[in-house]
Amino acid sequence: MTTLTPDSPPAERLPEIIRRLRQVHPDARCALDHRNAFELLVATILSAQCTDERVNQVTPALFARYPTPAAMAAADRGELEEAIRPTGFYRNKARHIQEAAQRIAHDFGGEVPASMEALTTLPGVARKTANVVLGVAYGLAEGIVVDTHVARLANRLGLSRQTDPNKIEQDLMAITPREEWIDLAHLLIFHGRRVCTARKPDCPNCVLNDLCPSAVL
């Protein structure tokens, strides 16, 4: 059996990285509260430059008032802006949410589309948001969600040397079995929040420190 080291190729280290992360983060999942694909889409748009906790504080009242794409599409823009104001960048987010809701209501029969091609035609929906909806709401592994946590950990763990999220995603997809694409993002996000934080990674207490080229012990 080959002994893994921080210098081992990423593809060789990744299965053990995933195994260990599953052990320490058995609760890794999407942290955005939602009941369906539409709620998840809206919550994901709201989560840009905002914590999931803050989004979860806003969405219960938002979805009670606008429970469907048709209701959101018909909302008064000013009232919608006020409802999501705590999430920041509320004018742009309100415009994207409402225009996406209009497209879903009018062009997709009120159902959030379940393909990358269709999702990324919606206002405010780029590849990351589409990956969240496809993976979490529909169980479809069309890609790997690359948010700030995933990007940071992919670099620190030496899984990618890229800085562009789309290129990081391609690097991760190349070394990760497709059946692990959805879970990998959740695991890296939870580890990034709890252990490998942006400002002060807790390397001495990290289960990956003997596999990480960036570990400081």
Determine which one of 52, 93, 128, 202 is catalytic: 128
**Under a CB-based contact definition with an 8 Å cutoff, are residues 150 and 109 in contact?**
no
For residue 50, give Cα distances in angstroms to 20, 69, 166: 28, 23, 21
Q: Strands (DSSP E) along 22-171, which ranges?
A: none
**Under a CB-based contact definition with an 8 Å cutoff, are residues 186 and 29 in contact?**
yes
Please report, as a single letter, which amino acid is at residue 141.
A
Active site residue 147: yes
**Under a CB-based contact definition with an 8 Å cutoff, are residues 99 and 124 in contact?**
yes
DSSP-derived secondary structure letter, 125: -
- Match 């429970």 to its residue by tokens: 67
Q: What's the CA gap between 33 and 56, in Å, rounded?
A: 6
Please report, as a single letter, which amino acid is at residue 118.
A
Active site residue 7: no
Determine which one of 107, 147, 167, 202 is catalytic: 147
- Give the sign of the dihedral formed by CA 182, CA 185, CA 189, CA 191: positive
Q: What's the CA gap between 200 and 61, in Å, rounded?
A: 35
Residues 6+ apart with CB under 8 A from 24: 191, 207
Catalytic residues, by residue number, are 128, 147
